[in-house]
Every structure is written in structure tokens, then in C-alpha cells.
Amino acid sequence: MDFKIKEQSFIARIAAWKLKERNMAIVLGKTIFLHGVSADDFKNNSTWLKHEQEHIRQFKQYGFLPFIYKYLLESLKNGYHNNKFEVAAREAEQK
């Protein structure tokens, strides 16, 4: 799968602070933004990598802005954990 990684990302730092996590990965389009984890450690964590790759696939499936819109709507309705895109990403971790 074609993707880019950006380490020490500001947007991932904000998300980590918001979600009270030490390490964070955020996908926008084909780029994975990291905070608190190096690209090497991230790529060696196959479960985590598969999770974020599922989000890249979702961006591809729905298109950039439509996916952001759908994702935010899901989060408002169901929260972070039960957001259907997060449920699918957690299922992808097991594949």
C-alpha cells in the first residue's frame, strides 16, 4: 500500500493531548502523522500499521473531504470507540 509517514507531527500531538494518549497516529489521505513514536517503531508494530492502513483505505474509498465529514459525523453520533470506521480499523488489525 502506498503511504507516507510524517514523524513528530503537530496535528498528532494535538490529537494525543485531546485523547490523553502518549503515542498517536493520525491519517489524512495517504499520510500517517505520528507523535511519540518513530516511523521505524510504528512500522514494526504490525497491528498498529494495519489499523492506520485501514484508515488510508477508507480515505480512498470515500474521498478526502467526504471521509472526514463522515468520520466526524460518526464520532458525534457514536463517540470515538464505536465510530464504525474505528470498529473496521480494529477488525483490520486482526487480518
Which residues would be at the binding site for Zn ion (CB under 5 A)?
86, 89
Nearest residue (CB) to Zn ion, 7 versus 50:
50
Q: What are phi and psi of 36, to 5 degrees?
A: 75, 10
Nearest residue (CB) to Zn ion, 39 versus 75:
75
CA geometry: angle 34, 38, 43, nearest 5 deg: 90
**Whole-number minimum distance, CB 35 to Zn ion, in Å?**
14
Contact (Cβ atoms closer than 8 angstroms) between residue 85 and residue 58 = yes
Nearest residue (CB) to Zn ion, 12 versus 89:
89
Nearest residue (CB) to Zn ion, 49 versus 89:
89
**Whole-number minimum distance, CB 88 to Zn ion, in Å?**
9
**Whole-number minimum distance, CB 86 to Zn ion, in Å?**
5
**Whole-number minimum distance, CB 40 to Zn ion, in Å?**
20
Contact (Cβ atoms closer than 8 angstroms) between residue 34 and residue 52 = no
Contact (Cβ atoms closer than 8 angstroms) between residue 51 and residue 90 = yes
Closest residue to Zn ion, based on beta-carbon distance = 89
Contact (Cβ atoms closer than 8 angstroms) between residue 95 and residue 47 = no
